[in-house]
Amino acid sequence: MYAIIIGGGKVGYYLTKALLEAGYETLLVEKLRENYLRLFDEFGEAVYQGDGDEMRTLQEIGTNRANIFIAVTGDDEDNLIACQLAKKKFGCPKVIARVNNPRNEEIFRQLDIDATVSATRIIYGLVEQEMEAPEVIPLLALKKGNIEIVEIAIPKNAPVVGKTVEALRLPEDCILISIIRGEEVAIPRADTVIEVGDTILALISTTRVHEIHDALLGK
C-alpha cells in the first residue's frame, strides 16, 4: 500500500510514524521549509517538500499510484483541493480529509470525499450523548456503511490482560487495526499478548460498539 499524507503538523507526523512502523510505503508532504527539514531528520526520504494542493507536486510524488490519500493540514480549503485533485485528476481510490471547521463537513461529503475527520464533531458528540461505554472513544465514522474506528485503553483490571489476540472473544464485524504500546505501534497478530496500558484501535460495526467494550473491558 502506498499512502500519501498532506500536512506535517502533529496529526500528519504521528500518522506517518504509525504507517511507517507498520511497514507501509508512506510519503509525508510538507510545504514549509523549516518544518520539512525537521521532519526529514526523522523520516528521511519519506518526507517531501511541496504544496499538496498543487498539480505539479501531486504529479512528482506519484499520486496516480497511491492507494490512499490523506490531507490533514490546518486549512480546510487546502485539504479539500488536495483531495479533489487526488481523486478526480489522479484517480486515487480513497481520499480522507481533516475538517477543522465542522460546518464544512457536509460540503466535503457532497464533493465526494470518502471520509472526513472532525475533532470538534467527535468531542461534541462525546459531550452530547450519554455513552454506555465511555472507555470506548469513537475516532472516525466511515461515510459508506455503519462502520466506526474506535480507541480502547486497557486498564490493569481488564479481563483481556495477559491474553493473546487469538484468545479474545471479539464480536462479529470487528477487526483489530493496531495496538499502541508506549512509543510503539504494532499490527496485532494471533500471538500478540495484550498488556496493561495498551491502546487498541478497532474497526467495528456501529451497532456493536457496546460489544467490544464488554469483550475487552468486561461488563
Nearest to 136 by CA among 181, 174, 187, 165: 174
Question: Higher model confidence: residue 120 or residue 153?
Answer: 153
Domain 2-122, CATH class in plain words:
alpha beta
For the cut 50, the answer to whether the pLDDT of residue 132 exceeds it is no
The string of pLDDT tens digits covering residues 33-48 is 999 999 999 999 999 9
For the cut 90, the answer to whether the pLDDT of residue 104 exceeds it is no
Q: What pLDDT score was predicted for residue 57? A: 95
Single pTM value for the model: 0.58
Domain 132-217, CATH class in plain words:
alpha beta
Q: What pLDDT score was predicted for residue 131? A: 46
The string of pLDDT tens digits covering residues 158-168 is 899 999 999 99
Question: Higher model confidence: residue 184 or residue 5?
Answer: 5
Q: What pLDDT score was predicted for residue 133? A: 47
Mean pLDDT, residues 171-199 taken together = 88
State how far the Cα of 78 lies from the Cα of 7, in Å rounded to an integer.
Answer: 10
How does strand 147-153 pair with strand 199-205?
antiparallel
Kindly report the three-state secondary structure assignment for every residue of the chain.
Answer: CEEEEECCCHHHHHHHHHHHHCCCEEEEEECCHHHHHHHHHHHHHHEEECCCCCHHHHHHCCHHHCCEEEECCCCHHHHHHHHHHHHHHCCCCCEEEECCCHHHHHHHHHCCCCEEECHHHHHHHHHHCCCCCCCEEEEEECCCCCEEEEEEECCCCCCCCCCEHHHCCCCCCEEEEEEEECCEEECCCCCCECCCCCEEEEEEEHHHHHHHHHHHHCC
- Residue boundaries of the structural domains of the chain: 2-122, 132-217
Q: Which residues contact 7 (CB under 8 A, 6 or more apart)?
A: 29, 30, 52, 71, 72, 73, 74, 78, 79, 98
State how far the Cα of 153 lies from the Cα of 137, in Å rounded to an integer.
Answer: 9
